[in-house]
Structure formats: C-alpha cells, structure tokens
Amino acid sequence: MDSICVITDKMHRSFYEALDFGEERLFFADLKEAYESLPSCDFSVIALDSGYNPQVGLSLLRKIKKCCVSVPIIFLTDSSSEEVVIRAFKAGAREYFKKPVDIRELQPLILSMIKLKRANSATRIPSTTICKWRDNDDAVQLHADLPEGLLKSVRYMNENLTERIYLDDLAKQAGTSKFHFCYNFKLHVGMTPMQFLTIRRIERAKILLRKGGLSITSVAYMIGFGDVSEFNRQFKKIAGLAPSAFKKSQVNKELDSLAG
C-alpha cells in the first residue's frame, strides 16, 4: 500500500482531507514540526504546503530532499513570486502550485506520481501508460513492456529536468553502453532518448506557462535550456506555436472562463 504525506498547518488541513486516494494512506505532518515528526521517508509522494511563508517551506523542502532523495515533492504556497518558483524547483520540487489549487488537478497528479513510482519498483512494466502527467494532449505516453534499465533512465530524466543531462548519464542509469542504450530506447519508446527528454521538458514548460507569473526566459532556464532561442525553437516545433503565443492563449482561456 502506498502512502502520501501532506505537510501543512491545521488551518489548511481540511482541504487535503477531501482528497480521495482509495486504499492509499494519507499521513499529515504539521508545517512547523514536519522535519522532526516525519516517521520516515517511506512515502510515495509528499505535498508540502508552505501557506503564506514560502521561505519556511523552501527551507523545509531542502532539508527533506536531502534525506528523501527519491520521493517526489509537490510544493504549494499562497504567496508566490518568480524567485520562489525558481528556488522551489532548484531545491528539488517536482511540481509547484500557487494556491488556490483545484483539487481536480492535484488529485490526479498525485495518483500519476504514485503509479510511476510503483512501476519503477517492478522489474518490468505491463503494457500501460507509465509516464502520463497531465492532459492526454500534452502527455508523453510509454507503452509496451519497458525494461528496468530504461525505466530508470526515464525516471532520471523526470527527476533532473532542470539540470543538464547527457547520454552518458542516461546510459549509466540503464546499465548499458551508449550504443545499446540508444538502440533499446528507440526500439521500446519509438524515439531517441534526447527527443523524449525534449518533449518532457516542453510538457513541463507548458505547466509552468499555464501557472502565469513567470517569464519565458525563466521557464527556459528552469527546465534545463541554457539558450532561450533554442527553447523557443523546440517549443514551437513540439507545441505548434511559440511560448509567447501559448502563454497568451492560456491567459485568454482564463479570461473567457471568468467571463462565462
């Protein structure tokens, strides 16, 4: 059975109690005493709600990430800025939300993280989606039986999107030479490892651009692009429009929903 840890203050606890994860256990830890009160790092997902004090949350995030390296952490806050977003991702947050957050968005995200972590513990993966993070139109989906080594490389990509990733790193995760890694990856996934990595980064970019408040330069930096022009080129190639146009379309959608 998987377990989810929610770190928050008592005032916001009722929101998370409404989350429904079936048989998965929900564990709560108080924001002020979380680091000392966590019984272990044996969680599938940690949701860290920093409330109106993101600096406290960021400090706690860094501490938890040191001992719970492989646990995905979702960072939530009521008080956000571009600097806070960047620092949260650099500190190890897998996802970031400026509150209020829709429970219909948070719950499936946590469940998808649990599925990916569960799949990673298996030697091989059944014929199903194991990398589906958002809407079907945006998600990279992996089908067919994926060998354990390739799964480790995919997980490494997901956990290090903000860093420079080289084929040597991915082949090492898979436990094979670069040649065999690239051959097996394309055989099972249908594209090269670097193509897959670029698509995952553009998916993350879409999520960040939807949240608003971030410049395109910051988003490019946060997902591992050192060159903004290359980010713009890859984004348009994969998404069909430039990052600036995508960001504007999301603002228009939000205004239309408010008007309706």
Q: Which CATH superfamily is domain 3-116 in?
A: Response regulator (3.40.50.2300)
DSSP assignment letter at 187: H
From the list 133, 164, 170, 130, the residue with the least C-alpha distance to 146 is: 130
Distance CA 10, CA 208 (A): 28
From the list 122, 114, 130, the residue with the least C-alpha distance to 46 is: 114
The pLDDT tens digits for 28-58 are 888 887 777 665 667 889 999 999 989 999 9
The pLDDT tens digits for 108-149 are 888 878 776 666 555 333 333 334 333 333 445 554 467 888
Q: Is the dihedral of CA 242, 247, 250, 256 positive or negative?
A: negative
State in words which class domain 123-260 has: mainly alpha
99, 78 Cβ separation under 8 angstroms: yes
Q: Where are the domains of the chain?
A: 3-116, 123-260
Which ranges of 68-192 would DSSP assign to H, the alpha helix? 82-90, 103-120, 148-159, 167-174, 178-189
Which H/E stretch holds residue 99? none
pTM summary value: 0.64
